[in-house]
Structure formats: C-alpha cells, structure tokens
Amino acid sequence: MDVFDAIGIGFATALTLKNIIYCFIGAFVGTVVGVLPGLGPVATISLLLPFSFTMDITSAIILMAGIFYGAQYGGSITAILVRIPGEASAVVTCLDGYAMARKGRAGAALGIAAFGSFIAGILVTIALFLVGPAMSGVALAFGPAEYTALVLLGLLLVTQLSSGSQTKALLMVSFGLLLSTVGRDPIYGAERFTFGIFSIYDGLNMALLAMGLFGVAELLVMAEGGAQNAIPVAQPTRLSDLLPNAADWRRSIGPILRGTGLGFFLGLLPGGGATLASFSAYVVERRLAKEPQRFGEGAIEGVAGPESANNAAAQSSFVPLLSLGIPANAVMAVILGALLVQGITPGPGLIANRPDLFFGVIASMLIGNMMLVVLNVPLISVFVLLLRVPGSILAPLIIVFCVVGAYTLSNSVAEVVIMIGFGIAGYLMRKIDLDPAPLVLAFVLGNILETNFRQALLVGKGTLSLFYTRPIAAFLIAVSLALVGLQLARAFAPARSPVSR
C-alpha cells in the first residue's frame, strides 16, 4: 500500500459524521480533563472503557485518542495561569509559562502552547503516514540496557532544568530518585517505605507531587506576601498582547520543530511518552539557548518546545501499540485492553487486515488538532480573565480545586494529606532556594531507571555485560561519561586559571 492509498483510506474513515463527532467529543473532554488536576486521561479513558465495547472499535479509538492528546494541551492552561499542572507533561510548562503570565503575557504563552501543539500534531500526522509503520521497529531496538543508559543520560541533563546551582540540582535529583522507590518493588512486589499507608502501596502519585510542589507551594508564598501579592499578575491592555507576536514566533519556531522531532521519537519508545518528551525538550532548548539565564524567567521557548513535544509524543505512541502491540504508556495499555476485548489483536498484521483502523486513527489526529485550535484559541481572552480575579478569591478556589483533584484519585483523605505535605515541602524549598523541577523529573524517571536496570542485570546474569556489548547502550553510556568529564573540566577550569598566571 502506497502513501496516497493510506491517506485516502485514513480520511475516508475519519471524515464520516460519526467519527467527526467522536473526535470532537474526545478533543473537548481531553481539554477539560487536562485542566482538572488529578483526573488525567488514564482515569478518564478507563471510565469510558465499558462504553467502548458497544461502539465501533475505530470510533472508540478515535475518541480515546482525542482525550489523550487533548489532555496535553488542557494541562498547560492551569500550568500557565495558576502554576498548577493539570497533566504531568505540563509540569515543565509551569517554569516559564507562569513567569510569562506574571509579566502580563499569559495570552502569548497560551497561544504558543496551542499553536505549537497544532503544528506538532500536523507534522507528526504527516510523519505517521509516511514512516510510522517503519519507525515502529525502533522500539524493538530498545531493551532494558538501552533504557537504563537513556535514563542515566537524562538524569545528567536534568540539572540543566535548575535555575540555581548544579549542586542543589543534584540534591533535588537524589530526593526525586528516593521518592520514586516508595511503593511496591517493581520486580518482587515487596513493600518499601509505605509505613502501612494503603494509598501509597502502588507508589506516590505524580499528580500529588506536582500539585503540591508547584500549586500549593505557590499559594503559600502568596499567602505569606499578603495584600501585596494578592494580584501578582500584570494585565494585558491591548488585543495584540493576547497572542504571540512576530518576535515570539521567531524565538518559537525552532523549539517547536525540535520539540516535535524529539517528541515523535520518544513517543515510539515504551516508557518514554509525553512527560519525558516535554522535560527533554525543555533541557534541549535551555542547552541551545544563547541566553540560558532567561529560562525560568519567562522564556517563550520554554513553553513552545515542551508543549510541541508532549503533543507529538502523545500521537506517535499509537504506532508501537497498533503496529507492534506494545503499549508505550498507561494510556496505551488501557486502549490495548479495548482492542483485545473487541477481538482486535494489534501487531504487524493490523495494517494489512484493518487499514481503516490504523490510518483512520492517524487521520483523526489531524482533524482533532484543528478542533483543539478552534476550541481553545478563541477562548484565550476568556482564560486570561481568570487572572483578573483578586488573589483573595482565587487562592481559596485553587486550593479547593487541588483538594478535590487529589481526593478523586482514590477517594482517600490520605491523598489530600500527602499533597498538602508536598505543598509545605515545596514552600520550604522556595525559602532556601531549591528548585523542585529536577526533583519532579527524577521522580518520573526513577521507576523506569530501577526497573530496567534490574531487568538488565537479570538478563546479563548479574553482570553489566549488556551495557558494553549492545551498541546503543554502549554509545549512550559513552555520551554520559563524556558529559561528566566535560562538567568536571568546567568545574576545575576556574581553579586552574589563577595558577597559570
């Protein structure tokens, strides 16, 4: 089947009235789910799973896909406006998106998030038609050793997220890795650091960590400041301030394209996904920036790159699921269950046997991204009005929002207490100038690192042989060692220069 046949089959399936309606519902619900902290696309799609059994399977997957990539944009709205990431993939958007909002540029941040996601969605859809099935083989090249090496490289780069010292960033990474060990052992299932609290038997929830360290901590800082911080956000006075200007686009187009490419690749890898893609895109943009000190202070590149990357990863993660039967993340695992219940076995034969399903879902992503832009860009002025609400009114509403979101995770007060505990910890971090961003990324990567490292040891019969006998793993380890060497050289360079005089 050539590309034009694939495109024809895809759009003939996606453009039926029934599938257009399901695509719209998915995009709309996904945006709402992304805004609400704690709910998330996994829980939403799981709740819809029984209803999907009575639907046409293609329509059901189109609906679920819309919820997934719609949530990526929705999560950025509260991240930018009130520093509460609705989705884990929007955590990094808080860093510069909220800083832009405080400078009266919330509209530009929301606009570039929407347009960046849209451009990424278009490019990824084209790429999926052209090379998607062939690229699915990339996932098969990554085993436990490769993932371990990739995560180690990521942890070395994560210190670039911090606006403070590298030592403090490494300290936060260490805390993040420790927090990731809470819960059941991924290999043997033994409980670790649970202290008998049932709610954390399966580990700490990412949403609680993000809402506490970013949202609740920010509210505590506002409360400490009193009336002078009650309305901390500058207000746009012109219509042009509500959208990205020409200078914003010049700064953003490179990050959008790089974030799209990075997100597309990481979405193909099991365990990668939108969250890792957004963090990685932020690190890349900060490393490439001529003025890295702007990041964390309202750099629009820090919004454009991650928001493009998380949307690209959300869409490309469907390729290993449909063409190989490998779920790249928890959302894909739920969708895999929906396919299997209806007698559809994902794998290499799916494209030949059900091209309408494979290419119809891909084509619907293009339509869904257009719907997201139409839905959200006109509402930017409405979203910005939220910033006009006095802090004395907004702060209580936000804390209620967070408490409800935390409670709905498992209908447990313990989740609320954990979130508040992280909020107090985040407030104390702010007081002693510790950046929580490296902690959050290390927490996300910690479980992937531990699971794959131990699996690599099991496959290697207790030795590290896989790390130097497999080419990809060996290359990634070599890059990590080179980066460590470069950092050490930079650290000792100032100490040597006085001696040379």
Residue 278 has pLDDT above 60, yes or no: yes
Other Cβ atoms less than 10 A from the Cβ of 452: the count is: 22
Which two structure tokens, joined as six digits, stand for 241? 């301030």
Residues 6+ positions from 281 with CB-CB distance below 8 Å: 255, 258, 259, 262, 263, 305, 306, 308, 309
User: CA angle at residue 276 from 233 to 419, to 5 degrees?
Assistant: 55
Chain centre distance of CA 291 = 24
Average pLDDT (45-49) is: 79
In the chain, % helix, strand, coil (3-state, to 5) comes to: 75, 0, 20
290 class by beta-carbon count within 10 Å (0-12 exposed, 13-18 middle, 19+ buried): exposed
Distances (CA, A) of 138 to 60, 109, 303, 319, 358: 27, 34, 28, 11, 18
Q: Quick one: pLDDT band at residue 497, thresholds 50, 70, 90? A: very low
pLDDT for 162 equals 58
Residue with tokens 């893609």: 277
pTM of the model: 0.76
**What's the average model confidence in pLDDT over 120-144?**
77
Question: How sure is the predictor about 308, in pLDDT bands with cuts at 50, 70 and 90?
Answer: very high
User: What pLDDT band is residue 255 in, cutting at 50, 70 and 90?
Assistant: very high
Spacing of C-alpha 273 from chain mean position: 7
In angstroms, rounded to a whole number, what is the distance separating the alpha carbons of residues 342 and 55? 10
Helix (H, G, I), strand (E, B) or coil at 84: coil
CB-CB contact of 225 with 416 (8 Å): no
Of 102-116, 196-210, 444-458, the poorest mean pLDDT is in: 196-210
Summarize pLDDT for 1-25 with one digit per residue, the tens.
Answer: 667 788 899 899 999 999 999 999 9
- Interacting residues of 426 by C-beta distance below 8 A, sequence separation 6+: 212, 213, 214, 216, 217, 220, 436
| C-alpha angle 244-247-253 in degrees, rounded to nearest 5 | 75
